[in-house]
Structure 1
Amino acid sequence: MSKSKAKLMLGNPSDHVDFETIESPKKPILKLEEPEVPQNISKKKSFNEDSVRISHERFEYENELSIGPRGIDREKTPLSSTVIESTIFDVPSTLNTTNASSLEKDSSSPSADDFNSLTGLIRYEELSGFVKLGSGSSASVFKVYHQPSEFDIGVGARLEPSNSENKDDPEKKKTVYAMKKIYVEKQLAKSIIHEIKALYTNRNTHIIKLIDSYYREGAIMMILEYMDCGSLEDVIKISKKIPEKILSRMTYQILKGLQYIHEECYIIHRDIKPANILLNSKGLCKIADFGMSGFWIKSKLEEIQKTAKFDTFCGTYIYMSPERIRGQSHSFDSDIWSLGLTIAQLGMGIFPFTLKPEFTIWSMFEYLEETGAEPFPIDEKEYSPEFKSFVYQCMTFDRKQRPSASQLVSHPWIEKYKKDEEKMRKSVEKWVYRRYIAVKRHNRKPKESNDTKTEKR
């Protein structure tokens, strides 16, 4: 068997760990297995790409999902737990899911928590503004404004101004939302279906809310609640790192979201990372971007496995658990690995593994298996033993030894800073204002004043 010597850069790029010659695996495992699913979940049919129907007016999949220019068709997109053998709804037999028909008979004044299922509250024509926040290869995100029309919109419910004192001011009636525009292609259909599936029935405070979704001009327009502080990736670009006390309280919120999708919805997120944890100025953290939940990007994983080079192992893939990269069976514990890596990065201010393109994934896995409980060093002088324990437990190499989200809620690092949920939220809110919002505004002022001076000249 061939021997190779590798160097793994850990923590600060100026420091590194040298490890002795390691044996390269005989062959990487290329077979991609289905994730493990709890016994009480209805058996799923395999996803049938031929059942995706895309026309100039509608985006549909079998009898499970239908989106048109006016939004999600609720009659053709069931919420009921009677959906058995669904390819997009993992409904466990024991889950008490609210039936869509009962929602239609509900009060004409829905609470904010009901917006996900009460689609049809916003007409696309009522949206304005469309300020682009960012874009990727297949999607763009916009900030949009909604001003309700003066007439009934047809589902027995209307959005009223959040502040009754502003009732007569048209500008103050506007509500801000985020709009994710996904350019529809056949190969993206599965991603779109899984994201809408994950958000359509959401009832959790720490999962981003889907208000409605439209199919227009060859694109899906998802209307989501607006998180005015962006992602935690944006936050650490300004704050550099997040102090343990605040990070622990943010993590508590993230765990509550994971607990909900794992234990009540039976969804594996598969893409937990700082960029997919959103934050608002009220101190609330929410998990977003469920496009990878419930499926593999098989071609990309096979490319990574064949080349085994870290230059192809980037973006989302650097947060993947070892079993996912290997194409092995995985379950909710894969999200826990990604959470541990995310929390380490947010707390330390740097990505814990600094890896060069010539290093292989298999060398990293060999190293992690040999080091066991400590995948990378955490300075005990700077970080508490509880923080270290939390990260290391999440990143246990043997996935079956990783704690669940429910167990981690009671971890000593969470308990150490735990208070009443409202008090914890307020402490996060204060820190966010002082260390992120205020700093961001201050950094913006010199540029604005310089622009003004240039205009005067």
Structure 2
Amino acid sequence: MGLTHQPSETDIAETTEDDEATDAGALSAAADELLSGVEGKKGEKGAKRRGKGRKIRIEDFEMLRVLGKGCAGKVLLVKHRASASLYALKAITKRHVLAHQELQHTLTEQAVLKRMAAAGDQANPFVVKLYWSFHDRENLFLVMDFHPGGDLATQLARWGRLGRDRARFYAAEIVEGVEGLHAAGVIYRDLKPENILIGADGHIVLTDFGLSKEFPKRAAQPTNSLGSSLTFCGTAEYLAPEVIQGLPYSYEVDWWSFGTMLYEMLTGITPFWANNHADMYVRVLQDELMFPDDKAMDQDTKSLIRGLLQRNPALRMAEPRIKKHPYFQMIDWTHVYHKRYIPPYIPPIDPHNESDTQNFDETFL
């Protein structure tokens, strides 16, 4: 979970009814302006089939199962009544957004997904797709792909650690996804196992862009004028040193998070783990990077992780050097992008149960 303000009953109770009504009106107006006309290609076609001017509504979906719960709302498995297609619907309560000033996070996620979808057929295949975004009196809704394989965090909880081939397969697809975000001018800022979804075919996608930061597309900028930020956000275990120190940072923070994730996939624990955030931050800033004595990693793997976990972002491994590292020497990146490699793991899915959620964290089901 990201380092964002957590809800409490007191926070909500302190909002008066008059203030809440006024703020709700302002929020609805903002939502009307910012969420209108943002349906993806599939959504636009669906809107045309339903008739000109007909907006998508929550009544257009059948609610099947809860996939996840958070402070701001829920993610539900839904069926689109007109097409019978399954989607993941993220419902974010306006009350929570009002109480915790999180409108920008919601709008950022929608904006990033819209930006990534604007490429049409050239959209990055490793970023979750947005089909519709809309709202009603109480909630903001994002309708996205449903990936029945659950997330990487659940897989790590069940398996403890992943084998070398499986970790390398996921790592290559994550690199493609992050590189696609960066090319579009987006710093992810919340790369972690919970945000890596696994599809029915065993391939992955990145999701949850509420903490992301947008800049103009990098291809249109000189290499020495990349965007930077000072915002302290992300998830503790995956925060880069420059974020912890409150220094200006840029796209390199995502590669630190990636290095942390690769280490975790192979060992079952993050490299600077501690029982509390304060100690963890000290370890990130000061401790020597240590590797386990077992055979979980070969020298090429350790070399890549050392490069990714460089405390100085100017020296940190980043694109395009990552793809050329010996760890990926057997990888054909064109094959990765077009999903030509056979996934080493296919999630078990009941073909007779369209709402099968066996691959999700049972806490939320």
TM-score by length of 2: 0.72
Does the Cα contact within 8 Å between 2:189 and 2:212 map onto a contact in 1?
Answer: yes
Does the Cα contact within 8 Å between 2:170 and 2:204 map onto a contact in 1?
Answer: yes
Aligned twin of 1:421: 336
Once the two structures are superposed, residues 311-331 of structure 1 have per-residue CA deviations (whole angstroms, 9 ceiling, x without a partner) of xxxx81221111101111100
C-alpha separation between the residues in 2 aligned to 1:178 and 1:404? Answer: 32
C-alpha separation between the residues in 2 aligned to 1:357 and 1:318? Answer: 10
Does the Cα contact within 8 Å between 1:262 and 1:332 map onto a contact in 2?
Answer: yes
Structure 2 matches for 1:57-68, cutoff 5 A? 58-60=28-30, 66=33
C-alpha separation between the residues in 2 aligned to 1:57 and 1:353? Answer: 40
Find out whether 1:325 has 2:258 as its counterpart. Answer: no
Aligned twin of 1:437: 348
Structure 2 matches for 1:303-342, cutoff 5 A? 316-342=235-261
Once the two structures are superposed, residues 131-188 of structure 1 have per-residue CA deviations (whole angstroms, 9 ceiling, x without a partner) of 111111112110000131xxxxxxxxxxxxxxxxxxxxxxxx5111000111122301
Find out whether 1:235 has 2:169 as its counterpart. Answer: no
C-alpha separation between the residues in 1 aligned to 2:85 and 2:160? Answer: 31
Aligned twin of 2:56: 123
| Pair 438,389 (structure 1): closer, same or farther in 2 beyond 3 Å | farther
C-alpha separation between the residues in 2 aligned to 1:118 and 1:413? Answer: 43
| Pair 217,350 (structure 1): closer, same or farther in 2 beyond 3 Å | same
**CA shift at 1:54, angstroms?**
4.8
Q: What is the SS of the residue equivalent to 1:234? A: helix
C-alpha separation between the residues in 2 aligned to 1:137 and 1:392? Answer: 35
C-alpha separation between the residues in 2 aligned to 1:235 and 1:201? Answer: 29
C-alpha separation between the residues in 2 aligned to 1:247 and 1:362? Answer: 26
Aligned twin of 2:291: 377
C-alpha separation between the residues in 2 aligned to 1:218 and 1:225? Answer: 23
| Pair 255,53 (structure 1): closer, same or farther in 2 beyond 3 Å | farther
One-letter amino acid of the counterpart of residue 179, structure 1 = L
**CA shift at 1:366, angstroms?**
4.8
Structure 2 matches for 1:11-410, cutoff 5 A? 54-55=24-25, 58-60=28-30, 66=33, 72-74=35-37, 114-115=41-42, 120=47, 123-124=56-57, 125-148=59-82, 174-184=84-94, 185-186=97-98, 187-202=101-116, 203-263=123-183, 265-294=184-213, 316-357=235-276, 360=279, 363-368=282-287, 371=288, 375-379=289-293, 381-410=295-324
| Pair 261,217 (structure 1): closer, same or farther in 2 beyond 3 Å | same
Q: Whose helix fraction is larger, Structure 1's or Structure 2's?
A: 2
C-alpha separation between the residues in 2 aligned to 1:320 and 1:117? Answer: 38
C-alpha separation between the residues in 1 aligned to 2:242 and 2:128? Answer: 27
Q: What is the SS of the residue equivalent to 2:67? A: strand
Once the two structures are superposed, residues 76-99 of structure 1 have per-residue CA deviations (whole angstroms, 9 ceiling, x without a partner) of x6xxxxxxxxxxxxxxxxxxxxxx
**CA shift at 1:365, angstroms?**
4.4
One-letter amino acid of the counterpart of residue 56, structure 2 = R
| Pair 59,199 (structure 1): closer, same or farther in 2 beyond 3 Å | farther
Taking every aligned residue pair, what percent have the same amino acid on both sides?
Answer: 20
Does the Cα contact within 8 Å between 1:119 and 1:212 map onto a contact in 2?
Answer: no
C-alpha separation between the residues in 2 aligned to 1:231 and 1:213? Answer: 23
Does the Cα contact within 8 Å between 1:127 and 1:144 map onto a contact in 2?
Answer: yes
Task: Structure 1: give runs of 5+ residues left out of the alignment.
Answer: 1-51, 78-99, 101-112, 149-172, 302-314, 445-457
| Pair 294,59 (structure 1): closer, same or farther in 2 beyond 3 Å | farther
Q: Bigger CA drift: 329-338 or 118-127? A: 118-127
Q: Which has the larger radius of gyration?
A: 1
C-alpha separation between the residues in 2 aligned to 1:219 and 1:231? Answer: 24
Once the two structures are superposed, residues 15-50 of structure 1 have per-residue CA deviations (whole angstroms, 9 ceiling, x without a partner) of xxxxxxxxxxxxxxxxxxxxxxxxxxxxxxxxxxxx
C-alpha separation between the residues in 1 aligned to 2:278 and 2:26? Answer: 47
**CA shift at 1:432, angstroms?**
2.2
Aligned twin of 2:362: none
**CA shift at 1:116, angstroms?**
7.5
C-alpha separation between the residues in 2 aligned to 1:286 and 1:133? Answer: 16
**CA shift at 1:244, angstroms?**
1.4
Task: Structure 2: give runs of 5+ residues left out of the alignment.
Answer: 1-21, 49-54, 117-122, 215-228, 359-365
Does the Cα contact within 8 Å between 1:281 and 1:432 map onto a contact in 2?
Answer: no
| Pair 114,205 (structure 1): closer, same or farther in 2 beyond 3 Å | farther
Does the Cα contact within 8 Å between 1:394 and 1:403 map onto a contact in 2?
Answer: yes
Does the Cα contact within 8 Å between 1:245 and 1:417 map onto a contact in 2?
Answer: no
Does the Cα contact within 8 Å between 1:117 and 1:201 map onto a contact in 2?
Answer: no
**CA shift at 1:260, angstroms?**
1.1
Does the Cα contact within 8 Å between 1:344 and 1:352 map onto a contact in 2?
Answer: yes
C-alpha separation between the residues in 1 aligned to 2:182 and 2:338? Answer: 26
C-alpha separation between the residues in 2 aligned to 1:362 and 1:275? Answer: 20
One-letter amino acid of the counterpart of residue 199, structure 1 = L
Does the Cα contact within 8 Å between 1:183 and 1:218 map onto a contact in 2?
Answer: yes
Once the two structures are superposed, residues 288-322 of structure 1 have per-residue CA deviations (whole angstroms, 9 ceiling, x without a partner) of 10000129896x77xxxxxxxxxxxxx81221111
| Pair 327,297 (structure 1): closer, same or farther in 2 beyond 3 Å | closer
